[in-house]
């Protein structure tokens, strides 16, 4: 649990500042579950430059509650939570100073979004909150007011959680929460999980990931782990002290994230990953007469740029049949028909005579290229747009020159249309032949919202 906060102060000498406004959003890693926003009467003058910066003046604060009147609420909303702030050292110092004046020792763990940004967004020009969120395309209102800055920090922190591919943030939080044995029962853990699409992580008492998986219903899948029998299942059940999760919205995003996380973490209770997720490929070949034929081969036999890939020869054969029918291609050229003269589809008018040299190669091959374009991402520069994690949010999966580059989330069209902002929002991931297989297989079987072609710039 996190308490994302921002504080506005009177300014002045070190440790003599007073709080003029505070905003806290309690965040469970996915949703805001509580919030507290209030002006505060600091019982001292505000520095003129602060009035000019924030717009908060002494007249506004005359009827505002004093700090001792809001202290209990601050303790309650931050209890069992890690404080998140932009330049957390400042906000935490101010809070501790105010509580010390009341004779109370206020202690919380903190995470600083400046430090996290420096690690996870190393190429940005400035780490000041305003410039940083603008560079990321994050909309901000009421800048230099506590709630405006707290909401900007919250949006930034969500992005940083997405960027944290090594799970350093999560590991440190889980380890801090799981000192000693967890008291909740496993089914209590299940009840805290969403019935939504994403990737889940099963942690031991040290916060280490011992198993991870994807599911379109995280709650149901984890419940299955806790009710399975067998030696491995019992060991996993015994060692699991916490289950964390990341919603992806998109099932394709969940598959890609699971693949990446398995390579990165190698959890001890996951089966060893196969070096290749596919066994067969369809590849093009130009025959002696110049026609492009579609052929099936073992993935070991064809190493470079197959059109697309499959788990079984049956699936590959089915696609060639489908392509031949949809694009009016010749069954004889594609090896479906063994006829000595024309193929059967020629008599039905579904083949234009390539099998008996009646159709010129350019016209025929143009339709083959259309089929290849439909079923392959080779050499493409596109963004696959799919469902996001919440209403109004979308998942963007970036493909450049036929290679999967990463994915991220957006809710404003200008974030997608501006390639520089898009590349910043995307969490980089390493594409390979397996990610290409995952993407093309998904696109053959499932519907996504849309595919946008990217304009390349020289």
> DSSP characters for 39-67?
E-B-SSPPPHHHHHHH---HHHHTTSPBH
**Residue where a domain stops, chosen among 123, 141, 163:** 163
Strand partners, 203: 209, 242
Nearest to 116 by CA among 191, 76, 166, 60: 166
Q: Could you give the CA distance from residue 443 to residue 256 in angstroms, rounded to a whole number?
A: 13
Over residues 149-156, the mean pLDDT reads 92
Clarify whether residues 251 and 312 are in a common domain: no
Whether residue 179 has pLDDT greater than 50:
no
DSSP-derived pairing of the beta strands 292-298 and 450-453? unpaired
Using the predicted structure, report yes or no on whether residue 314 has a pLDDT greater than 60. Answer: yes
pLDDT band at 367; cut points 50, 70, 90? very high
- Distance of alpha carbon 3 from its chain centroid, rounded? 22
Collapsing DSSP states into helix, strand and coil, what is residue 251? helix
State the average pLDDT for the chain: 88
- Flag whether pLDDT at 339 surpasses 60: yes
Least confident of 27-41, 68-82, 177-191, 415-429: 177-191
| pLDDT confidence bin for 181, thresholds 50/70/90 | very low
- Which structure tokens are listed for 319? 């696609």
Q: Is residue 270 part of a domain?
A: no
Q: What is the mean pLDDT of residues 262-269?
A: 93
User: How far apart are alpha carbons 367 and 176 in whole angstroms?
Assistant: 60
Q: What percent of the chain has pLDDT over 90?
A: 50
Q: Which pLDDT value is given to residue 424? A: 87
The verdict on 27 and 150 lying in the same domain is yes
CATH number of the domain encompassing residue 202: 3.40.1440.10
Say if residue 21 is in the same domain as residue 134. yes
Residue 70 has pLDDT above 90, yes or no: yes
Same domain, 180 and 107: no
Question: Is 333 a domain residue?
Answer: yes
54 & 96 share domain: yes
Question: Same structural domain for residues 226 and 287?
Answer: no
Residue 197 resides in a domain: yes
Average pLDDT over residues 45-49: 89
Residue at 274 is within a domain: no
Percentage of the chain with pLDDT > 70?
95
- 346 shares its domain with 360: yes
pLDDT tens track for 189-247: 887 889 899 999 999 989 999 999 999 999 889 888 887 777 888 899 889 989 999 99
Residue 271 within any structural domain of the chain: no
Residue 23's pLDDT band, with cuts at 50, 70 and 90, is very high
Which two three-digit tokens encode residue 432?
């390979």
pLDDT (average), residues 77-104: 89
Measured between alpha carbons, how far is 244 from 45 in angstroms, rounded to an integer? 46
DSSP 265-320: H--TTSPPPPS-S-SEEEEEEE-TTS-EEEEEEETTT--S--SEEESSHHHHHHHH
Its pTM stands at 0.73
Mean pLDDT of 292-317: 89
Residues 74 and 152 in one domain: yes
- Determine contact, residues 224/236, Cβ cutoff 8 Å: no
Average pLDDT (75-83) is 91
| pLDDT value of residue 338 | 84
Of 70-84, 243-257, 347-361, 388-402, minimum mean pLDDT range: 347-361
Residues 193 and 158 in one domain: no
> Which of 265, 296, 325 is the last residue before a domain boundary?
265
pLDDT tens digits for range 396-455: 999 999 999 999 999 887 777 777 888 888 999 999 999 999 999 999 988 899 999 887
**In the prediction, which pLDDT does 180 show?**
41
Q: How far apart are CA 385 and CA 259, in angstroms?
A: 19
What's residue 341's pLDDT? 84
Q: Is the pLDDT of residue 337 over 70?
A: yes
The Cα–Cα gap between 24 and 84 comes to 9
Residue 186 resides in a domain: yes
Q: What is the mean pLDDT of residues 79-95?
A: 89
Q: How many CB atoms neighbour CB 275 within 10 A?
A: 7
DSSP 211: E
Which CATH number belongs to the domain containing residue 11 in this structure?
3.30.420.10
| pLDDT of amino acid 182 | 33
Q: Which of 17, 169, 12 is nearest to 93 (CA)?
A: 17
User: Picking from 132-141, 198-207, 252-261, which range would have the lowest pLDDT averaged per residue?
Assistant: 132-141
In a shared domain, residues 18 and 140: yes
Same domain, 298 and 347: yes
Range of the domain at 189: 169-265
> Domain for residue 62, yes or no?
yes
CA distance 382 to 398: 6
Domain boundary among 163, 196, 230: 163
For residue 31, give the DSSP letter: S
pLDDT at residue 184 is higher than 80: no
Q: Give the burial class of 304: count Cβ atoms within 10 A of its Cβ; 0-12 exposed, 13-18 middle, 19 or more buried.
A: exposed
Q: Which residue has the higher pLDDT, 338 or 180?
A: 338
Count of structural domains, the chain: 4
Tell me whether residue 273 is in a domain. Answer: no
| 296 and 150 inside one domain | no
Tell the residue number behind the tokens 């026609």, with chain if given.
291
Confidence of residue 174 (pLDDT cuts 50, 70, 90): low
């Amino acid at each position: 649990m996190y308490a994302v906060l921002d504080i506005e102060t009177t300014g002045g000498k070190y440790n003599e500042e007073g709080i003029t406004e505070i905003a806290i959003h309690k965040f469970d890693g996915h949703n805001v579950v509580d919030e507290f926003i209030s002006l505060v009467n600091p019982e001292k003058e505000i520095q003129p430059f602060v009035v000019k910066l924030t717009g908060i003046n002494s007249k506004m604060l005359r009827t505002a509650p004093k700090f001792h009147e809001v202290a209990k609420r601050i303790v309650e909303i931050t209890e069992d939570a890690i404080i998140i702030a932009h330049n957390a050292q400042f906000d935490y110092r101010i809070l501790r100073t105010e509580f010390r004046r009341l004779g109370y020792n206020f202690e919380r763990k903190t995470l600083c979004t400046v430090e996290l940004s420096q690690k996870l967004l190393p190429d940005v020009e400035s780490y000041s909150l305003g410039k940083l969120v603008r560079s990321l395309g994050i909309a901000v209102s009421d800048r230099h007011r506590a709630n405006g800055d707290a909401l900007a920090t919250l949006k930034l922190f969500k992005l940083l959680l997405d960027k944290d591919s090594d799970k350093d943030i999560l590991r440190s939080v889980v380890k801090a929460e799981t000192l000693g044995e967890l008291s909740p029962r496993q089914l209590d853990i299940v009840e805290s999980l969403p019935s939504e699409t994403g990737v889940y992580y099963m942690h031991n008492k040290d916060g280490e990931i011992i198993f991870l998986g994807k599911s379109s219903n995280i709650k149901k899948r984890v419940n299955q782990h806790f009710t399975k029998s067998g030696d491995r299942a019992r060991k996993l059940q015994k060692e699991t002290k916490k289950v964390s999760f990341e919603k992806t919205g998109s099932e394709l995003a969940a598959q890609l994230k699971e693949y990446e996380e398995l390579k990165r973490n190698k959890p001890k209770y996951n089966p060893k990953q196969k070096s290749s997720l596919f066994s067969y490929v369809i590849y093009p070949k130009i025959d002696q007469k110049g026609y492009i034929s579609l052929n099936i081969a073992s993935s070991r036999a064809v190493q470079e740029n197959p059109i697309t890939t499959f788990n079984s020869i049956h699936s590959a054969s089915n696609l060639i049949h489908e392509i031949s029918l949809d694009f009016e291609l010749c069954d004889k050229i594609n090896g479906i028909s063994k006829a000595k003269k024309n193929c059967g589809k020629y008599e039905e008018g579904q083949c234009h005579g390539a099998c008996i040299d009646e159709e010129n190669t350019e016209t025929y091959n143009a339709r083959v290229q259309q089929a290849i374009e439909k079923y392959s991402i080779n050499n493409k520069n596109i963004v696959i747009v799919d469902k996001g994690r919440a209403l109004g949010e979308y998942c963007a999966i970036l493909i450049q020159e036929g290679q999967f580059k990463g994915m991220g989330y957006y809710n404003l069209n200008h974030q997608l249309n501006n390639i520089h902002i898009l590349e910043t929002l995307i969490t980089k991931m390493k594409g390979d032949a397996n990610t290409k297989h995952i993407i093309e297989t998904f696109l053959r079987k499932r519907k996504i919202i849309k595919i946008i072609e990217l304009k390349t710039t020289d």
